[in-house]
Amino acid sequence: MKFKGMAFVAAVVMCAAPALSRDLVFPPGVDDRFDWEGYESFSRTDLSDEVLTISGPWTGPDKVLVENVLAYFEAATGARVSYAGSDSFEQDIVIAARAGSAPNIAVFPQPGLAADMARRGYLAPLGEETADWVRANYAAGESWVRLGSYADRDGDTALFGFFYKVELKSLVWYVPDNFTEAGYDVPRSMEELKALTEMIAADGATPWCIGLGSGAATGWPATDWVEDLLLRRQPPGVYDAWVENAIPFDDARVVDAIEDYGWFVRNGAFVANGTASVATTDFRDSPKGLFTFPPKCYMHRQASFIPTFFPSGTEIGRDVDFFYFPAYAGMDLGAPVLGSGTLWTITRDSPAARALIAFLKTPIAHELWMAQAGFLTPFKAANRDAYASELQRAQGDILIGATTFRFDGSDLMPGEIGADAFWKGMVAYTTGQGAARVARDIQARWDSIR
């Protein structure tokens, strides 16, 4: 909706001048993709005497993107905002909190550390009103409340994290021309995906490219497969209990999900270069088979970041496209989505910190980053036309359509499990070890660190 009040536009520009060293990237009141009326309402907040400090993981070009959004908060309120990005954010924020010098806002790339800091008393609760707002305004809202809620140092659970900026993992990449030439349709259910896999193999072609190689982190792509499949085979509460080890890793339901991954990867006819190559193929190289002629494979399951490793000049939507890694139609578990995201927390309370959380509840706070790059949101009121590309818009639609969202499970587990035993166990399973034995070994490792 375009806002036509030029007095408001002038006020924003005048307010922006003393606080900013750069122009606002989208002139206020001009671009009708943005909710300028909502921004006008928010601009009645006066924080002209406030300084807001923010620390997060973004550096380089990503730092510019987040600062472009924060500039509008400055312009609307008169507050002066200082954002500091760091490649070692996780270490830096703990040191700052212990020293009593934490910023007002800390942006965590993973919930685990935020939960730990909440238990230590380093985070301020966001309040039940914010939790209710998330439930009402985010797709799969209860999922986001759960992901941002942790026990405090007294053991009481409260919302501490507000998710803003999300990434998808539940995607399958394919070349539309290859599908068209072979007469294949995009599957809408897991049953159809498995039938398509068998059809491609029966035609004498190879359905999948899969690579687990990632240096010291080899194996992590397989953990994503298992997590996605567990969400498609069991209710989300089972996934949550597994991540917390409230049910053991060798529970039959988890073993079933591992074996479901095995249905795809342990049939040599389903995987480019055969199963033996999967563990040694670098995940960055594995999608290249989509682009050969003839194609070495027809599908590649990987997160929204994988286009970085596509051949130079590849155009998304023309040369390659994606579809949602589908749910089982026969299991009636909705449309679960696996992904990751950043959560914004208050580490040193102030009126400006509270106002920033309120700003993140406005559509325009999301639309401004949507219109740049690398941003997805579950906020239902944000204008999807604000997305900078059809790629982002289509991924945003998958996120909005999710009935359940869950964070990458291995990132939520203790490091010795999620970033070691689970990775290695998936390599062992892929190369021939039994699923039950792999699961028992991972659980034994978990038991040893308690």
Q: Are residues 255 and 354 in the same domain?
A: no
What is the reported pLDDT for 12?
Answer: 45
Same-domain check for residues 84 and 117? yes
Please tell me the predicted confidence (pLDDT) of residue 13: 40
Q: Take residue 282 and report the two structure tokens written for it.
A: 């670098």
21-48 average pLDDT score: 91
Average pLDDT of the segment spanning 268-296: 97
Q: What is the pLDDT of residue 19?
A: 40
Residue 11 pLDDT > 90:
no
Going by pLDDT thresholds of 50, 70 and 90, the confidence category of residue 7 is very low
Altogether, the residues listed in the chain come to a count of: 450
Least confident of 3-7, 104-108, 385-389, 406-410: 3-7
| CA gap 179, 182 in Å, rounded | 5
Question: What stretch of H or E contains 81?
Answer: strand 80-85
Hey, what are 25's tokens? 């990237």
List the CATH number of the domain containing 66.
3.40.190.10
The answer to whether residue 416 is domain-embedded is: no
Are residues 210 and 323 located together in one domain of the fold? yes
Count of domains for the chain = 2
Q: What pLDDT does residue 184 have? A: 98
What region, left, alpha or beta, does residue 125 occupy, with left being phi > 0 and alpha being psi -120 to 50 degrees? beta
Q: What is the DSSP letter of 320?
A: B
Tokens of 340: 């990751």
**How crowded is the C-beta side of 261, counted as CA atoms within 13 Å?**
30
pLDDT value of residue 110: 86
What is the SS3 assignment for 53? strand
pLDDT higher than threshold 60 for residue 214: yes
Do residues 146 and 295 share a domain?
no
Same domain membership, residue 326 and residue 212: yes
Query: pLDDT, tens digit, for every residue of 321-375?
Result: 999 999 999 999 999 999 999 999 999 999 999 999 999 999 999 999 999 989 9
316, exposed or middle or buried, with CB in 10 Å at 0-12, 13-18, 19+?
Answer: middle
Q: State how far the Cα of 440 lies from the Cα of 330, in Å rounded to an integer.
A: 29
% of the chain exceeding 90 in pLDDT: 94
Asked if pLDDT for residue 23 goes beyond 90, the answer is: no
**Is 60 domain-assigned?**
yes
**212 and 333, same domain (yes or no):** yes
- Farthest-apart Cα atoms in the chain, separation: 70
Q: What mean pLDDT value characterizes the chain?
A: 94
Position 257 in a domain: yes
Distance separating alpha carbons of residues 306 and 100, to the nearest angstrom:
39
52 shares its domain with 15: yes
Tokens of 429: 């399973």
Q: What is the DSSP string of 180-226?
A: HHHT----SSHHHHHHHHHHHHHTTS--B----B-GGGTTHHHHHHH
User: In whole angstroms, how far apart are CA 230 and each of 206, 348, 407?
Assistant: 25, 38, 13
Domain assignment present for residue 441? The answer is yes
pLDDT in tens, 120-132: 999 999 999 999 9
Tell me, what's the pLDDT at 380? 98
Q: How far apart are CA 260 and CA 426, in angstroms?
A: 13
Same-domain pairing of 357 and 249: no
State how far the Cα of 141 lies from the Cα of 121, in Å rounded to an integer: 25
Give CA separation, 207 vs 138, 213, 226, 290, in Å.
Answer: 35, 19, 18, 10
Residues 53 and 131 placed together within one structural domain of the fold: yes
C-alpha–C-alpha distance, residues 46 and 44, integer Å = 6
Helix-helix angle 252-265:220-233, to 10 degrees: 120
Asked if residue 415 is part of any domain, the answer here is no
Angle at which helices 351-359 and 60-77 cross, to 10° = 110
Q: Which of 108-112, 169-173, 187-191, 215-219 has the lowest mean pLDDT?
A: 108-112
Same domain, 244 and 288: yes
Q: What is the pLDDT of residue 450?
A: 74
pLDDT of 207 over the 80 cut: yes
What gap in Å lies between CA 384 and CA 139, rounded to an integer? 13
Residue 67 has pLDDT above 80, yes or no: yes
pLDDT of residue 15: 40
Asked if the model's pLDDT at residue 1 lies above 60, the reply is: no
Please check the confidence at residue 437 and state whether its pLDDT lies above 60: yes
Residues 32 and 150 in one domain: yes
Which tokens hold the place of 142?
């209860």
pLDDT in tens, 283-322: 999 999 999 999 999 999 999 999 999 999 999 999 999 9
Residue 39: inside a domain: yes
Position 85 in a domain: yes
Amino acid at 183: G
417 occurs within a structural domain: no
Distance of CA 50 to the CA centre of its chain: 32
The one-character DSSP state at 233 is: H
| pLDDT value at residue 50 | 96
pLDDT in tens, 378-432: 999 999 999 999 999 999 999 999 999 999 999 999 999 999 999 999 999 999 9
Helix axes 252-265, 435-448, angle to 10 degrees: 130
Range of the domain at 191: 178-337+425-448
- pLDDT at residue 16 greater than cutoff 50: no
Question: Do residues 271 and 249 both lie within one domain?
Answer: yes
Q: Give the least confident one: 45-49, 69-73, 350-354.
A: 45-49
Q: How far apart are the first and last CA of the chain?
A: 54
